[in-house]
Amino acid sequence: MGGSILTAFRTFYLKELLDPLTPPDSPLSRSESPVLPVGCKPATVLAMTNIGQHLIVIDSNKAIKVVNLSYNGDTPIPDSVAYVFPAHRDSVQGVRSMPPSAYVQADFYTWSVCGTVIFWDQDGEFKEELSIDLEQRNDMDDDYKNELKVVEITQSATFFVSGDKFGVLRYVKLCR
Protein backbone atom coordinates (compact mmCIF):
# COMPACT_ATOMS: atom_id res chain seq x y z
CA MET A 1 0.00 0.00 0.00
CA GLY A 2 1.47 3.15 -1.09
CA GLY A 3 0.40 6.37 0.48
CA SER A 4 1.29 9.89 -0.09
CA ILE A 5 1.62 12.68 2.35
CA LEU A 6 0.22 16.01 1.36
CA THR A 7 1.82 18.96 2.99
CA ALA A 8 0.31 22.42 2.72
CA PHE A 9 1.77 25.63 3.87
CA ARG A 10 0.21 29.04 4.18
CA THR A 11 1.94 32.26 4.89
CA PHE A 12 0.22 34.46 7.43
CA TYR A 13 0.84 38.16 7.60
CA LEU A 14 0.62 39.98 10.91
CA LYS A 15 -2.08 42.35 9.52
CA GLU A 16 -4.38 39.36 8.72
CA LEU A 17 -4.06 38.06 12.24
CA LEU A 18 -4.79 41.43 13.83
CA ASP A 19 -7.74 42.40 11.59
CA PRO A 20 -10.47 39.78 11.98
CA LEU A 21 -12.61 38.94 8.96
CA THR A 22 -15.81 38.65 10.98
CA PRO A 23 -18.09 41.67 11.36
CA PRO A 24 -18.45 43.36 14.74
CA ASP A 25 -21.08 42.08 17.16
CA SER A 26 -24.63 43.33 16.62
CA PRO A 27 -26.26 45.36 19.37
CA LEU A 28 -28.15 43.20 21.87
CA SER A 29 -31.34 45.22 21.45
CA ARG A 30 -32.76 47.97 19.24
CA SER A 31 -32.40 50.39 22.15
CA GLU A 32 -28.61 50.17 21.71
CA SER A 33 -28.84 50.74 17.96
CA PRO A 34 -27.82 54.15 16.62
CA VAL A 35 -30.77 54.01 14.17
CA LEU A 36 -33.41 53.95 16.93
CA PRO A 37 -34.28 57.59 17.68
CA VAL A 38 -33.98 58.90 21.22
CA GLY A 39 -37.22 58.41 23.13
CA CYS A 40 -38.34 55.23 21.36
CA LYS A 41 -39.30 52.29 23.55
CA PRO A 42 -37.91 49.08 22.01
CA ALA A 43 -40.54 47.43 19.83
CA THR A 44 -40.90 45.50 16.61
CA VAL A 45 -41.65 47.64 13.56
CA LEU A 46 -44.78 46.33 11.83
CA ALA A 47 -45.15 48.89 9.04
CA MET A 48 -43.79 52.24 7.91
CA THR A 49 -44.14 54.89 5.25
CA ASN A 50 -42.61 58.31 4.70
CA ILE A 51 -44.27 61.70 4.34
CA GLY A 52 -41.85 64.43 3.35
CA GLN A 53 -39.43 64.95 6.23
CA HIS A 54 -41.19 62.39 8.46
CA LEU A 55 -41.23 58.63 8.80
CA ILE A 56 -44.50 57.11 10.05
CA VAL A 57 -43.83 53.92 12.05
CA ILE A 58 -46.38 51.44 13.39
CA ASP A 59 -44.91 49.22 16.10
CA SER A 60 -45.78 46.22 18.23
CA ASN A 61 -46.69 48.54 21.13
CA LYS A 62 -49.79 49.54 19.09
CA ALA A 63 -48.38 53.02 18.74
CA ILE A 64 -47.89 55.34 15.80
CA LYS A 65 -44.62 57.22 15.85
CA VAL A 66 -43.94 60.24 13.65
CA VAL A 67 -40.16 60.36 13.37
CA ASN A 68 -38.25 63.38 12.05
CA LEU A 69 -35.78 62.55 9.30
CA SER A 70 -32.44 64.23 8.70
CA TYR A 71 -30.33 63.53 5.64
CA ASN A 72 -26.72 62.54 5.16
CA GLY A 73 -26.37 63.31 1.47
CA ASP A 74 -29.25 61.38 -0.14
CA THR A 75 -29.61 58.94 2.75
CA PRO A 76 -32.49 59.60 5.17
CA ILE A 77 -31.62 59.01 8.84
CA PRO A 78 -34.20 58.79 11.66
CA ASP A 79 -33.45 61.70 13.96
CA SER A 80 -35.98 62.17 16.75
CA VAL A 81 -39.54 61.25 17.58
CA ALA A 82 -41.87 64.17 16.85
CA TYR A 83 -45.11 62.51 18.06
CA VAL A 84 -46.25 59.25 19.57
CA PHE A 85 -49.94 58.44 19.77
CA PRO A 86 -52.06 55.29 20.15
CA ALA A 87 -53.12 53.60 16.95
CA HIS A 88 -56.06 51.18 16.93
CA ARG A 89 -57.54 49.12 19.77
CA ASP A 90 -56.61 45.95 17.87
CA SER A 91 -53.54 44.88 15.93
CA VAL A 92 -52.48 47.34 13.22
CA GLN A 93 -51.71 45.74 9.87
CA GLY A 94 -50.27 48.64 7.90
CA VAL A 95 -49.79 52.28 7.07
CA ARG A 96 -49.74 54.15 3.75
CA SER A 97 -49.30 57.78 2.80
CA MET A 98 -52.22 59.53 1.13
CA PRO A 99 -51.98 60.73 -2.47
CA PRO A 100 -51.69 64.53 -2.84
CA SER A 101 -55.08 64.77 -4.56
CA ALA A 102 -56.81 62.88 -1.77
CA TYR A 103 -60.56 63.14 -1.32
CA VAL A 104 -60.05 62.74 2.43
CA GLN A 105 -57.83 65.54 3.74
CA ALA A 106 -55.29 63.40 5.58
CA ASP A 107 -51.58 62.70 5.31
CA PHE A 108 -51.68 58.95 5.94
CA TYR A 109 -53.98 56.11 6.89
CA THR A 110 -53.69 52.94 8.97
CA TRP A 111 -55.77 49.77 9.06
CA SER A 112 -56.31 47.04 11.62
CA VAL A 113 -57.12 43.33 11.53
CA CYS A 114 -60.77 43.94 12.44
CA GLY A 115 -61.40 46.14 9.38
CA THR A 116 -60.99 49.66 10.78
CA VAL A 117 -59.30 52.23 8.53
CA ILE A 118 -58.29 55.51 10.19
CA PHE A 119 -57.10 58.64 8.37
CA TRP A 120 -54.60 60.92 10.17
CA ASP A 121 -52.68 64.12 9.58
CA GLN A 122 -48.93 64.22 10.20
CA ASP A 123 -49.51 65.77 13.65
CA GLY A 124 -51.44 62.71 14.76
CA GLU A 125 -54.87 64.29 14.51
CA PHE A 126 -57.72 61.92 13.69
CA LYS A 127 -59.43 62.95 10.43
CA GLU A 128 -61.86 60.20 9.50
CA GLU A 129 -62.62 56.54 10.13
CA LEU A 130 -64.31 53.87 8.07
CA SER A 131 -65.08 50.25 8.71
CA ILE A 132 -64.77 47.38 6.26
CA ASP A 133 -67.14 44.50 6.93
CA LEU A 134 -65.25 41.23 7.01
CA GLU A 135 -67.10 38.01 6.33
CA GLN A 136 -66.54 35.35 8.98
CA ARG A 137 -67.09 31.64 8.44
CA ASN A 138 -69.32 29.99 11.02
CA ASP A 139 -67.53 26.64 10.89
CA MET A 140 -64.15 28.11 11.91
CA ASP A 141 -62.85 28.64 15.42
CA ASP A 142 -61.24 31.87 16.66
CA ASP A 143 -57.78 30.83 15.42
CA TYR A 144 -59.06 31.16 11.86
CA LYS A 145 -60.87 34.49 12.07
CA ASN A 146 -60.85 36.61 8.96
CA GLU A 147 -58.56 39.68 9.08
CA LEU A 148 -58.06 42.74 6.94
CA LYS A 149 -54.63 42.34 5.37
CA VAL A 150 -54.14 45.21 2.92
CA VAL A 151 -55.75 48.52 1.93
CA GLU A 152 -54.71 50.57 -1.10
CA ILE A 153 -56.28 53.88 -2.10
CA THR A 154 -56.45 55.12 -5.70
CA GLN A 155 -54.48 58.21 -6.71
CA SER A 156 -57.63 60.36 -6.57
CA ALA A 157 -58.56 58.76 -3.21
CA THR A 158 -62.13 58.28 -4.37
CA PHE A 159 -61.86 54.46 -4.28
CA PHE A 160 -59.92 51.95 -2.28
CA VAL A 161 -59.23 48.26 -2.64
CA SER A 162 -58.98 45.98 0.38
CA GLY A 163 -57.93 42.38 0.75
CA ASP A 164 -58.60 40.01 3.61
CA LYS A 165 -57.18 36.76 4.95
CA PHE A 166 -59.76 34.66 3.09
CA GLY A 167 -58.70 36.17 -0.25
CA VAL A 168 -61.71 38.45 -0.76
CA LEU A 169 -60.93 41.69 -2.62
CA ARG A 170 -63.27 44.66 -2.22
CA TYR A 171 -63.39 47.72 -4.44
CA VAL A 172 -65.15 50.45 -2.45
CA LYS A 173 -66.10 54.01 -3.35
CA LEU A 174 -65.34 56.60 -0.68
CA CYS A 175 -68.20 59.02 -0.23
CA ARG A 176 -69.15 61.66 2.28
Report the CATH number at residue 108.
2.130.10.10
Structural domain that includes position 38 = 33-173
Residue 27 lies in a domain: no
List of residues 6+ apart from 24 with CB closer than 8 A = none
Domain count, the chain: 1
Residue-wise pLDDT for 97-123, tens only, equals 888 766 678 888 999 989 999 998 877
Return the percentage of the chain with pLDDT > 70, whole number.
71
Residue 103 lies in a domain: yes
Residue environment code for 83-121, b if the CB has 16+ CB neighbours within 10 A, otherwise e: bbeebbeeebbbbbbbeeebbbebbbbbbbbbbbbbbbe
Residue 43 lies in a domain: yes
Residue 28 lies in a domain: no
Return the percentage of the chain with pLDDT > 90, whole number.
14
Residue 125 phi, psi dihedral angles, 5° rounding: -85, 130
What pLDDT, on a 0 to 100 scale, did the predictor assign at position 115? 92
pLDDT-based confidence at residue 23 (cuts at 50, 70, 90)? low
In the predicted model, what is the mean pLDDT of the chain? 76
Residue 5 lies in a domain: no
pLDDT exceeds cutoff 50 at 62: yes
pTM of the complete model beyond 0.85 = no
Residue 9 lies in a domain: no
24-35 average pLDDT score: 47
Distances (CA, A) of 31 to 36, 41, 91, 99, 147: 6, 7, 23, 33, 31
Residue 137 lies in a domain: yes
Are 92 and 47 in contact by the 8 Å Cβ rule? The answer is: yes
Residue-wise pLDDT for 142-173, tens only, equals 668 899 999 998 887 788 899 999 999 999 88
pLDDT-based confidence at residue 30 (cuts at 50, 70, 90)? very low
Residue 4 lies in a domain: no
Q: Rounded to a whole number, what is the distance in angstroms from the first to the last CA of the chain?
A: 93
pLDDT-based confidence at residue 29 (cuts at 50, 70, 90)? very low
pLDDT exceeds cutoff 60 at 26: no
- The residue type of 44 is T
